[in-house]
Amino acid sequence: MNDLSENSSNEFILSFEDSADRVPVLWLHGFPLNNTMWDLQVAGLSDVARLITPDLRGHGLTEATSVTPYSMELMAGDCIRILDHLGCQGPVVVAGLSMGGYLAFEICRRFPERVAGLILAATKATADTEEVKLNRDNSARIVMSDGVKPVVDGLLPKLLSPKAYEDDPDLVDFLRDMMLLTSPEGIAGAQGAMRDRPDSTPDLPDLNIPTLIIHGDEDQLIPLDEAKAMAAALPEAELVIIPGAGHMPNLEQPMVFNDAVREFLEVFYGE
């Protein structure tokens, strides 16, 4: 585990892991998770990529801050600070799952020169509906008054396909334990960042970079049609649909997921 301190009136420590000096891939976790959700990717892909896996603000080992709600702009800046700290001045592949995908789009908007390619898993380009925004506000209120557990209990069954949720108790426990480590402030702050994020759909036609989209066909949180729409709008997109996987395809079908990423990264080997 590595730490990166911020010298400001809002000082906090960013936690991240960095695997090797190969094709740099910045892996952005989902909500309300942390960088250990990428453990099977770190184990399975470290021979072909340098995997940088931060804990976002208020998640995992990264402290929450008094700035709330968070914003995608704020978290994008955190990610660029990590890349600068590691000497990754050139463009990298940015990989994001769910909330991490929303953040990947923000990095593309604000720091396009730092992005060589995208891996978008279980995510979407569209903004929240008004109903979803209200649900996020309610979730933030609940977590600040009643703690993390009610939010975890409500979200956990939706993260996996029904079969995985019933048949893989170890995976369920792994996700539950990870989510329970997230601070109330981190959950509330991230809900605000997701609520206020812009619609990235208009940006898609101008993202002329190699993009891999991975989506489970049993995702209960983001419909497969969202992934198909992104693939149709992006100039250089490949869509991989993983049968039987839900919102966590990297954990439910890690070999299929890793094989798709490994093949995608071949385009960057000569750069």
pLDDT given at position 11: 65
Instruction: Report the pLDDT averaged over residues 30-48.
Output: 96
d(CA 257, CA 265): 12
Q: What is the pLDDT of residues 180-239, one digit of tens each?
A: 999 999 999 999 999 999 999 999 999 999 999 999 999 999 999 999 999 999 999 999
Q: Is the Cβ–Cβ distance between 268 and 45 less than 8 Å?
A: no
C-alpha span between 141 and 262 (Å, rounded): 41
H helix runs in 23-67, sequence order? 39-45
Q: pLDDT tens digits for 238-260?
A: 999 999 999 999 999 999 999 99
- Report d(CA 54, CA 26) in Å as an integer: 8
Residue 7 has pLDDT above 60, yes or no: no
Query: How high is the pLDDT of residue 69?
Result: 80
Helical (H) or strand (E) element with 116 = strand 115-121
Q: pLDDT, tens digit, for every residue of 49-108? A: 999 999 999 999 999 987 778 999 999 999 999 999 999 989 999 999 999 999 999 999
Q: Which of 37, 22, 35 is nearest to 88 (CA)?
A: 22
Q: Which domains does the chain have, with CATH numbers?
A: 2-268 (3.40.50.1820)
